[in-house]
């Protein structure tokens, strides 16, 4: 347990720094937009109603969805900008996170500023006018100072929301304290999850209290308190900048999708590069849809993808070809369309499959998907969030005519206990998953070859295509891992609770001996 | 019965209203064809019940609102030709319900108009101290906040604020309304003294005719937007308008009763 805590602590400067930078920038941007807008609204009641409604609607969009929506939006904007002005920018990471979080911060700031300013005693504003203040002087000398407690309360609410929601910027490629939570959830490392939650909560509370200190200082006009509050906030930001300023050395960024196997392989790649004297960093938890774009845009340098994923999601192929054929075609397509190099396969497949417990399969006499199809109307299936939207599922249904009694979506971590407990009969599974052995499951045969092969492959960013030192460091991983070894490694991470780094070291031990 | 007012006019007039009406929305006019002249250094009281239009009349003078028809002149100039900000900074205004800025100290409240006029902070402080003396408040009040003061002290600060930038005209909207009789009397007398010493032109709004009788040189009575009486206190006592007679009945009865007491004690 202590080692897990120490591992978590080691990531803190990077995660914390990025979290502070993204949330403070978003808050700053949000305030820069919301505060003037609130003043304009005072004079235009129609605009006020529209804006408050709009920002309330934004608030009802789940944080994760809002962040995710900004990615395609910015991707479109980036390609337009590239076409028109020849200037491209990254649609991943910092920018979409900042924009979405800034939008998120607007409601409390707008609402409180408008409320604070419009509920000031009219006798006071009348007096301000009567002593000869201009509209601006009245705002500056009288109305803003009087509304300050309410305005500050709005800013504090926004700060807490933004800092909390910033944990969700991990899947769109922005490192944050959410990296602990997402990777912890995937690897069942509850220490990580807890660490991330506590760190985000501490940051939110500290920021809230410092803002409260400034607010109190303004109210009683104590310069000392205002200065102390500002100094505290500045200290947090400075602390966040330390790793960014000191750590301009992470030349090679290794990407990983948000699941356990990816974390292990990313750690393995990172260890190989480090061992060859190359400075590395990690971009964890990138969504499956954005990670290839990030690589093609040179935002990460290397990651592991699966041929079937690219075949179906990127090349939009619905046919199925033999394993070697798919590998070759995917490699060609990546080079031609995305200028990405497929360095080679790691040696194992992580294909989609349907699995049952050995006991239930035997009881029902089901060994293949064709057997399953005959009994499916009486059975229930559970899949992860992605599975039922994937072309593989459509292909399976068409090929075998699969139709289940019930169909449920759940987090992959909970599917296995569910099938073990008999709550569902069939689950979507991955062939390299360690839990197949652990839960005594069988993978059902696919006699019609409806599901394409899913070879794990190393993909290299365009700018690294001719980087010999980099490629030489990665070459020993090609064809080095068989599916049994990978299942074993995955089982170590999920069942025994070893960290991805530890499992990666074990894996290297094992494959380098051969 | 008419709204004919004696025009003292001429170069002396500090404030004059000619045929002024003010309509809000579709209802009855708040002011209806009011003509009125206030001579320089005069102390005018405007008496009327609620809804009589007296506050509206005061607001027209420093352009907190503009008349629907008619003309308002201040120091001979049509107020529509003046910058309202400049006009207001040159006219002291004591607000109904005090209207002090709750987040500013007493000294900052007093020096607000000088501050707007760009006086340096030293001069602002000196002026605030001067005015505290003038309204008989200790200099220790300078750093207090309005909520730490009694009603009478707050009203003194309100008067001091109105006088801070050396205005020659002071408008007061029920300045002593919420005070107990003793405080009101003391403050009224103090203000009357300042009015004399500083050579002010004062317009005071009140619903209390006794206050008007005690402190003003001249009283006008407003009823539902019409000016129904205009004259010195002595003339108003004898006025024949039924509403004015009604207004005068209470002070008259007090005076008779007091007179009877004073007579019976042998003075």
Convert the pLDDT of each residue in A301-346 to its tens digit.
999 999 988 988 889 887 888 888 999 999 999 999 999 999 999 9
- Cβ of A127 and B96 within 8 Å? no
Confidence check: pLDDT of A118 > 50: yes
Could you give the 3-state DSSP secondary structure of residue A46? helix
Q: Which residues of A touch B97 (CB under 8 A)?
A: 123
Q: Which residues of A touch B113 (CB under 8 A)?
A: 131-132
Mean pLDDT of all residues in A96-115: 89
Q: What is the Cα–Cα distance from A266 to A257, expressed in whole angstroms?
A: 9
Q: What is the Cα–Cα distance from A400 to A85, expressed in whole angstroms?
A: 51
- Cβ of A131 and B62 within 8 Å? no
DSSP summary character for residue A496: S
For the record, the structure tokens of A166 come out as 């910033």
Do A234 and A210 meet the contact criterion of CB atoms below 8 Å apart?
no
Q: What is the Cα–Cα distance from A307 to A320, expressed in whole angstroms?
A: 12
Nearest beta carbon to residue B116 from set A127, A131, A145: A131
Q: What is the Cα–Cα distance from A31 to B30, expressed in whole angstroms?
A: 44
Q: How far is CA B25 from CA A261, A353, B22, B28, B68, in A?
A: 74, 76, 10, 9, 11
Do A140 and A147 meet the contact criterion of CB atoms below 8 Å apart?
no
Instruction: Return the minimum-mean-pLDDT range out of A63-77, A349-363, A445-459.
Output: A63-77
Report the residue of A120, A129, A132 to disrupt the B interface, i.e. the one with the largest count of B CBs within 10 Å: A132
Cα Rg, chain B, nearest whole Å: 19
For the record, the structure tokens of A46 come out as 């129609």
B16 touches chain A (CB under 8 A): no
- Per-residue model confidence (pLDDT) at position A246: 58
Mean pLDDT of all residues in A267-282: 87
Q: What is the Cα–Cα distance from A137 to A150, expressed in whole angstroms?
A: 20
- Per-residue model confidence (pLDDT) at position A90: 67
**Is the Cα torsion angle B76, B78, B83, B88 positive or negative in sign?**
positive
Share of chain A above pLDDT 70, in %: 96
- Confidence band of A448 (pLDDT split at 50, 70, 90): confident
Buried b (16+ CB within 10 A) or exposed e, A24-48: bbbbebbbebbbebbbebeeeeeeb
How do residues B243-264 score in pLDDT, each as one tens digit?
888 888 888 888 888 888 887 6
B88 touches chain A (CB under 8 A): yes
Beta strands in A326-448 (DSSP E): 341-349, 352-357, 380-383, 406-409, 426-430, 441-443
Count of Cβ atoms closer than 10 Å to residue A494 Cβ: 22
Looking up tokens 């010999």 gives: A468
Do A91 and A77 meet the contact criterion of CB atoms below 8 Å apart?
yes
- Cβ of B96 and A132 within 8 Å? no
**Is the Cα torsion angle B259, B262, B265, B267 positive or negative in sign?**
negative
- Confidence band of A88 (pLDDT split at 50, 70, 90): low
Q: What is the Cα–Cα distance from A45 to A38, expressed in whole angstroms?
A: 11
Alpha-carbon gap: A219 to the closest alpha carbon of chain B (Å): 8
- Cβ of A132 and B113 within 8 Å? yes
Buried b (16+ CB within 10 A) or exposed e, A227-241: eebeebbeebeeebe
Question: Looking at this predicted complex, what is its ipTM?
Answer: 0.85
Q: Terminus-to-terminus CA distance in chain A, angstroms?
A: 32
- Per-residue model confidence (pLDDT) at position A208: 93
Chain A residues with CB under 8 Å of a chain B CB are: 123-124, 126-134, 137, 141-142, 145-146
- Per-residue model confidence (pLDDT) at position B1: 36
- Confidence band of A84 (pLDDT split at 50, 70, 90): confident
Buried b (16+ CB within 10 A) or exposed e, B81-115: ebebbebbbbbbbbbbbbbbbebbbbbbbbbbbbb
Do A387 and A468 meet the contact criterion of CB atoms below 8 Å apart?
no
Which of these, A511, A489, A382, A393, lies nearest to A437 by C-alpha position? A489
Which segment, A1-15, A243-257, B8-22, B59-73, is predicted with the most confidence on average? B59-73
Could you give the 3-state DSSP secondary structure of residue A416? helix
Alpha-carbon gap: B90 to the closest alpha carbon of chain A (Å): 8
Nearest beta carbon to residue B95 from set A123, A141, A142: A123
Confidence check: pLDDT of B61 > 80: yes
Looking up tokens 């991955």 gives: A430
**Is the Cα torsion angle B57, B58, B63, B64 positive or negative in sign?**
negative
Do B73 and B13 meet the contact criterion of CB atoms below 8 Å apart?
yes
- Cβ of B99 and A142 within 8 Å? no
Q: What is the Cα–Cα distance from B248 to B232, expressed in whole angstroms?
A: 13
Which of these, A451, A427, A454, A450, lies nearest to A439 by C-alpha position? A427
How do residues A216-254 score in pLDDT, each as one tens digit?
887 777 778 888 888 998 988 888 887 666 555 567 889
Do A173 and A112 meet the contact criterion of CB atoms below 8 Å apart?
no
- Cβ of B64 and A132 within 8 Å? no
Confidence check: pLDDT of B30 > 80: yes
- Cβ of A131 and B96 within 8 Å? no
- Cβ of A131 and B161 within 8 Å? yes
Count of Cβ atoms closer than 10 Å to residue A312 Cβ: 22
Mean pLDDT of all residues in A198-221: 89
Confidence check: pLDDT of A1 > 60: no
Q: Which residues contact A366 (CB under 8 A, 6 or more apart)?
A: A356, A360, A372, A375, A444
Average pLDDT score, chain B = 87
SS (H, E, C) B54-90: HHHHHHHHCCCCCCCEEEEEECCEEHHHCCHHHHHHC
How do residues A127-170 score in pLDDT, each as one tens digit?
999 999 998 899 899 999 999 889 999 999 999 999 999 998 88
B74 touches chain A (CB under 8 A): no
B61 touches chain A (CB under 8 A): no
Q: What is the Cα–Cα distance from A138 to A127, expressed in whole angstroms?
A: 9
Mean pLDDT of all residues in B222-245: 88
Which of these, A443, A266, A424, A278, lies nearest to A350 by C-alpha position? A443
Task: State residue B51 phi and psi, 5-degree precision.
Answer: 85, 5
- Per-residue model confidence (pLDDT) at position B10: 44
Which of these, A382, A388, A385, A393, lies nearest to A421 by C-alpha position? A382
Q: What is the Cα–Cα distance from A357 to A420, expressed in whole angstroms?
A: 7
Do A169 and A196 meet the contact criterion of CB atoms below 8 Å apart?
no
- Per-residue model confidence (pLDDT) at position B17: 92
Which of these, B167, B174, B160, lies nearest to B55 by C-alpha position? B174
Alpha-carbon gap: A122 to the closest alpha carbon of chain B (Å): 9
Average pLDDT score, chain A = 86
Share of chain B above pLDDT 70, in %: 94
Pairing status of strand A352-357 against strand A441-443: antiparallel
B95 touches chain A (CB under 8 A): yes
B119 touches chain A (CB under 8 A): no
More confident residue, A7 or A373: A373
């Amino acid at each position: 347990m202590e080692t897990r805590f120490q591992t978590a602590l080691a990531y803190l400067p990077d995660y914390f720094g990025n979290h502070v930078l993204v949330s403070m920038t978003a808050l700053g941007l949000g305030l820069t937009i919301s505060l003037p807008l609130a003043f304009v609204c005072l004079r235009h009641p129609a605009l006020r109603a529209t804006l408050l409604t709009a920002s309330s609607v934004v608030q009802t969009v789940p944080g994760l969805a809002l962040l995710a929506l900004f990615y395609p939006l910015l991707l479109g904007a980036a390609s337009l900008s590239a076409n028109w002005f020849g200037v491209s920018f990254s649609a991943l990471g910092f920018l979409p996170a900042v924009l979405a979080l800034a939008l998120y911060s607007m409601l409390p700031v707008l609402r409180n500023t408008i409320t604070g300013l419009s509920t000031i005693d009219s006798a006071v504003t009348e007096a301000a006018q009567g002593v000869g203040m201009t509209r601006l002087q009245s705002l500056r000398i009288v109305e803003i100072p009087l509304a300050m407690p309410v305005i500050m309360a709005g800013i504090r609410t926004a700060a807490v929301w933004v800092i909390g929601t910033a944990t969700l910027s991990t899947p769109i490629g922005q490192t944050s304290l959410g990296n602990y939570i997402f990777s912890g959830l995937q690897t069942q490392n509850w220490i990580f999850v807890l660490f991330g939650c506590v760190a985000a909560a501490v940051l939110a509370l500290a920021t809230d209290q410092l803002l409260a200190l400034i607010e109190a200082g303004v109210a009683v006009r104590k310069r000392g308190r205002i200065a102390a509050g500002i100094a505290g906030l500045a200290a947090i930001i400075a602390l966040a900048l330390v790793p960014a300023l000191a750590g301009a050395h992470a030349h090679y960024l290794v990407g990983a999708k948000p699941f356990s196997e990816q974390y292990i392989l990313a750690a393995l790649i990172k260890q190989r590069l480090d061992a060859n004297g190359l400075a590395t960093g990690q971009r964890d938890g990138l969504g499956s849809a954005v990670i290839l774009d990030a690589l093609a845009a040179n935002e990460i340098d290397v990651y592991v993808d699966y041929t079937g994923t690219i075949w179906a999601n990127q090349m939009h192929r619905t046919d199925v070809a033999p394993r070697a054929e798919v590998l070759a075609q995917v490699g060609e397509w990546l080079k031609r369309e995305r200028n990405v190099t497929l360095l080679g396969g790691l040696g194992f497949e992580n294909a989609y499959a349907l699995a049952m417990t050995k006991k239930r399969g035997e009881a029902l006499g089901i060994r293949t998907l064709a057997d399953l199809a005959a009994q499916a109307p009486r059975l229930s299936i559970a899949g992860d969030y992605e599975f039922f939207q994937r072309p593989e599922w459509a292909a399976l249904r068409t090929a075998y005519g699969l139709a289940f009694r019930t169909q449920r979506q759940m987090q992959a971590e909970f599917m296995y206990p569910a099938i073990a407990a008999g709550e569902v009969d069939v689950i979507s599974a991955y062939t390299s998953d360690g839990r197949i052995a652990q839960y005594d499951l069988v993978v059902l045969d696919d006699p019609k070859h409806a599901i394409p092969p899913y070879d794990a492959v190393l993909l290299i960013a365009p700018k690294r295509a001719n980087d010999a030192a980099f490629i030489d460091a990665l070459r020993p991983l090609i064809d080095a891992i068989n599916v049994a070894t990978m299942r074993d490694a995955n089982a170590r991470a999920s069942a025994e609770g070893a960290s991805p780094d530890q499992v990666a070291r074990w894996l290297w031990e094992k494959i380098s001996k051969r | 019965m008419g709204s004919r007012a004696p025009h003292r006019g001429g170069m002396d007039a500090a404030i004059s209203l000619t045929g002024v009406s003010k309509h809000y929305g579709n209802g009855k006019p708040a002011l209806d064809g009011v003509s009125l002249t206030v001579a320089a250094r005069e102390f005018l009281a405007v008496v009327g019940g609620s809804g009589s239009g007296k506050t509206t009349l005061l607001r027209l003078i420093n352009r907190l609102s503009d008349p629907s028809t008619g003309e308002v002149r201040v120091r001979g100039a049509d107020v529509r030709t003046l910058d309202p900000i400049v006009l207001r900074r040159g006219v002291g205004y004591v607000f109904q319900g005090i209207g002090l800025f709750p987040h500013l100290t007493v000294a900052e409240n007093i020096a607000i108009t000088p501050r707007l006029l760009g006086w340096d902070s030293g001069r602002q402080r000196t002026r605030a101290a001067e005015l505290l003396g003038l309204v008989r408040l200790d200099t220790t009040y300078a750093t207090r906040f309005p909520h730490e003061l009694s009603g009478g002290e707050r009203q003194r600060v309100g008067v001091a604020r109105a006088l801070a930038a050396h205005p020659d005209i002071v408008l007061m909207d029920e300045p002593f309304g919420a005070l107990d009789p003793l405080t009101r009397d003391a403050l009224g007398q103090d203000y009357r003294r300042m009015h004399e010493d500083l050579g002010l032109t004062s317009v005071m709004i009140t619903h209390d005719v006794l206050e008007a009788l005690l402190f003003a040189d001249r009283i006008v009575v407003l009823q539902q937007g019409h000016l129904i009486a205009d004259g010195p206190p002595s003339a108003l006592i004898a006025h024949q308008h039924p509403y004015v007679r009604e207004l005068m009945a209470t002070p008259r009865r007090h005076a008779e009763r007091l007179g009877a007491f004073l007579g019976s004690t042998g003075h």
